[in-house]
Amino acid sequence: MFDFEKLEVYQKAKALNKEVLKFLRENRLLDNYLRDQLKRASISILINIAEGSGRFSKADKRNFYTISRGSVYECVSLLEIIHDENCIEKTKFDHFINDYEEISKMLLGLIRSQNNDKS
């Protein structure tokens, strides 16, 4: 097992990514650009957590966790656009937003834990 697979934030992001991809597959009526961007941003959260956990310096780890958190914000923004276009049910939207908020807070904790080292 790789270190990143042990991280609770990775497991939560992976489960949410699975839900988002399922939502996108089931809702083909969404704009292609929005669908592609949401898919990419959702996957980016995972791959940046994984890549960051494999880095040796705290500065490198912090950078990848920060990028991952930025992708969380991108997902939320895209979901708001999709919601404004009435292409997602309110309950599904709220569920996604709540999960992204929790992931964002978890990533912030990881980022802050990397702040003690200048390497």
Report the mean per-residue pLDDT for the chain: 94
Are the C-beta atoms of 39 and 21 separated by less than 8 Å?
Answer: yes
Question: Tens of pLDDT along 37-93?
Answer: 999 999 999 999 999 999 999 999 999 999 999 999 999 999 999 999 999 999 999
pTM of the model: 0.94
Q: For residue 103, is it within any domain?
A: yes
Residue 118: inside a domain: no
Question: Tell me, what amino acid is at 77?
Answer: S
pLDDT at 99 over 70: yes
Residue 10 counted as domain residue: no
Number of domains in the chain: 1
Any idea what the CATH number is for the domain that residue 54 is in?
Answer: 1.20.1440.60
Range of the domain at 97: 20-113
Does 71 map to a domain?
A: yes
